[in-house]
A = this chain, B = another copy of it.
Amino acid sequence: MRAEDIEKLKCLNVFRGVKENTFQRAIAPSFLQSFPAGTILLEENRPADFLYIVLDGLVEMSSSATGDETVIEILGPVNLFILAAVLNNDICLQSARTLTPARILMIPANLIRELLAEDHDFMKAVVFELASAYRRTVKELKNQKLRSGAERLANWLLREERSQGGEGRLTIPYEKRILAAYLGMTAENLSRGFSALSAHGVNIKGLQVDIVDIGKLIDYARPSPLIDDGEPRLPRD
C-alpha cells in the first residue's frame, strides 16, 4: 500500500483519533484491489464479509425489487460502505458496483468487530460515522418525500456545483441514467427536468452544466440545511 493511501485512510472519520496500533492491525490483513468500471463488488441479500473503503473511483450503491432498480447513494474517495451491516453481522441491504475504475480496500468484517471491542477510540469514531450516515439517510428520505423530481435535480445541481469548486459550472461525473436513478426518476424525466430548469438559470451541453444565474436556480430549488447540506465529516466535540 502506498504512503499516499495511508494518508487517505487517516482522513476517514472512522480512523480519526484511533490508536496507530488499531489502524495498522486493520489494514495489515486487508485486501487492496483495483477493479475495472462496472464490477459488481457485492450484492444485496448477501452477508457482509468485508468493510469496503473507496480509495479511488466511484461506487454506486443500488437496490432492486420486482424488476425496478434504484440508486441509493454514489460514493467517491474517501468513503466507506456497508459499515452498519458489518457491525450487525447481517446481510447487505444494497448492491455495490464500480462506476469507474476503482481502488478499494477490503477489511475483514470480523476484524472490524474485534477492533471495535478493543479500541475505545475506534468505537467512538464508529459512533460518529454511523450517526452521520443515519442523518444523511434521513435527509435523503425527506428529499424524496417532500420534493418533486425537478426540485431534487435543482438541489443536486447546487450541491454538486459547490463541491466542484463553486465556479458556476459542473460536470456530471457519471451517466445521466445513473443520476436519474439516484434522483428517483426515469432517464426521460431527467431530460425533461433539465429542459425545465433552463428557465431557471441552467444550461446543459452533454455532461457539462453551466449555472448561468445561480440566484434564479436557488429561488427555484429552495435548498434547506435540513435536507441538503452534507453532514459534517468531522465530529465536533
Contact = CB atoms under 8 A, between A and B. Distances in A.
Interface stretch (A25-33, A34-42, A122-130, A195-203): A122-130
Interface string A39-55: 00000110000000000
Given A138-B137, A141-B144, A226 B131 contact: no
A147 B226 contact: no
Contacts of A117: 124
A30 to B, nearest CB: 21
A145 B181 CA distance: 9
A159 B224 CA distance: 33
Interface residues of A, number: 54
A27 B120 CA distance: 24
A174 interface: no
Given A84-B130, A84-B132, A130-B130, 6 more contacts: A70-B142, A70-B146, A88-B232, A91-B226, A130-B134, A134-B137
Contact of A142 (B72, B91, B134): B72
